[in-house]
Structures are given as structure tokens and as C-alpha cells.
Amino acid sequence: MPEGPEVHRQADQIRDAIAGEVARHVYFGQPRLRAAGPALTGQRVLAVRAAGKAFLIEFEDARTVYVHLQLYGKWLVRKRGGPPKTSRTLRLQIDTDQGSAFLYSASEIAVLDPEEVAEHGYLSKLGPDLLAPETDLETVLARIRDPELGRRRLGNLYLDQGFLAGLGNYLRTEILHEARLHPDWRLCDLDGWESRRLAKATLALPQRSYETGGITNDLARAARLKAEGVKRRAYRWQAFARAGKPCYRCGAEIERCEDAGRRLYICYGCQE
């Protein structure tokens, strides 16, 4: 499932293709939404934005198309030409004079009125989006210091979109590794310095991933490894998917474990 940085980058691409343009054709593949296509055709696309791991496409009649990709959804964007050649099932198509956006295989799609957006089960429970311009270090620190969250384990909390929106599996590993914290620690276990170190990593790594197309490793190190011919998967992350490899920081072997039903990678030399 794509995480916040990937969703925001994809939203940027869709925005560039269709935002500000009149939708010349809107098609929904699911029968329950089929009638919404003609109703939205002829409406201007006002905005395309990410909200956590969801996409919101806002039309001038105040309705919003909500999309969550889940595991199998995929967007394809084209500036010109017809639908891409694919065996996937088309769920949504929006054509403008400027470009087209095609959504395949996703099942969680809705057309929402403004009050439905505010009350939506997923959207209404989101914490601050880590890639929103208004989310700063103090915002993240406030969430980390929230006494109602104090007894939550980091390994579980860092998959919770209600804590901070956009977090996911690789970001969880990378943030905890950068902050030198074990996933069994709780927020209430952290002192002031550890809380600030965690907040800095929590804010910085999603932004780095967004700006670089998925790299959370030290950028100078990643550039050096790339120049040496190392494949992208091997230089992309500091700890994620590096089981059995030495930690870049201390040299200890990185180990894989399961936490909250998802794989997680730990360096026990750094994350006691």
C-alpha cells in the first residue's frame, strides 16, 4: 500500500493533468456510482489533494470524489491519448482537454457532499498530515506529548493514521531507526530529548521521501551508493528491507521482526 509520500506525489501528477479544467467525461466503473459520472461531467475540477493515504478530487458543484487505493488500486495519468493498455479493471476515468486520470482496481471510492466529507469515517479520524504545509515540528511534538497517547507502543502507534496521517510500514521502520528507538518503547517512556529527536525524524523522513521519490536514506550516502552501481532498492532505505545487512550507523546486523502484523526492521546496536 502506498504511504503518504507516494500518495502526495501521485496527487501532484493528477493535479497537473486535470485540476483547473472542465471534466469533459467522467466515468465510474462501479454500478453503484455509475449515475455520478454524467452528473460530474461538465463540472470544473477545482482541486486534487492527498489526505493521509486518500485522494480527494474536488469539483465546482461542491462534491468530492474520495479514493483510497488500499492494496491494489493504481492511478495512471496521461496528458494525451486514450486509456493505457492494461488488464486491470477501470474504476474511474476523468478526461479534460488538458489530460486524463485513470483509476484501476481500487474498490474504496465515494462521491461525497461537503457534510459527508466532514463526517467520513476515514477522513474525520485522521491526525495531522505529515506532508501538509501547516504541519510543523511543534505540531508533531504536540502529538508525541499527548497524554492520551502516552501508553501506546511506538511499533503500533506509527501505523495509526489517527496519530499522524501518511505513516506506513517503511516510514515506521525508518523513523524509529533514525530516532534510535525500539518499537516496544511507549511515548510516556521518552524524555524531552528523545521526544524531540523522534519528532524531527517523524517530520523529516516523509518529506525526504516525497522530495526524492522514496529515498529515506542519507542522501549523500544514497548518491554515493548509486554512483557505485548499487541498485535503488539497496540504497533507498537506512534499515527497511535490510535484514542481515550491517547498520550504516553502528555496523550491527539489522534484524527483521513482525510488529502489529507487519514486517519491521531493527538495529539492536542503535535501538536498544
Give me the domains of the chain, ranges plus CATH numbers: 4-125 (3.20.190.10), 137-267 (1.10.8.50)
- The secondary structure element, H or E, covering residue 75 is strand 74-78
Q: Residue 236 in contact with residue 6, Cβ under 8 Å?
A: no
pLDDT at 243: 98
**Buried b / exposed e across 214-230, counting CB within 10 Å, b at 16+?**
bbbbbeeebeebeeeee
pLDDT reading at 80 higher than 80: no
Neighbour order of strands in the sheet with 54-59: 45-51, 54-59, 64-68, 108-112
Is residue 223's pLDDT more than 80?
Answer: yes
- Name the band, by pLDDT with cuts 50, 70 and 90, for residue 82: confident
Q: What is the pLDDT of residue 138?
A: 98
Distances (CA, A) of 88 to 29, 72, 73, 83: 12, 10, 9, 11
Three-state DSSP class for residue 93: strand
Average pLDDT of the segment spanning 163-184: 98
Please state, for a pLDDT cut of 70, what percent of the chain lies above it. Answer: 100
pLDDT tens by residue, 126-158: 999 999 999 999 999 999 999 999 999 999 999
Q: What is the mean pLDDT of the chain?
A: 97
**In contact, 28 and 91? CB cutoff 8 Å:** yes
Contact yes or no for 28/92 (Cβ under 8 A): yes
pLDDT band of 1, cuts 50, 70, 90: confident
Q: 97: burial class by Cβ within 10 Å (0-12, 13-18, 19+)?
A: exposed
Q: Provide the annotated active-site residues.
A: 2-3, 53, 262
Specify whether the CB–CB gap between 155 and 230 falls below 8 A: no
pLDDT reported for residue 92: 98
14-28, 61-75, 77-91, 110-124: range with lowest mean pLDDT = 77-91
79 φ, ψ to 5°?
-80, -30
Query: Is residue 81 over pLDDT 80?
Result: no
Q: Which residues contact 119 (CB under 8 A, 6 or more apart)?
A: none
DSSP 8-state class, residue 22: B
Q: Can you tell me whether residue 233 is helix, strand or coil?
A: helix
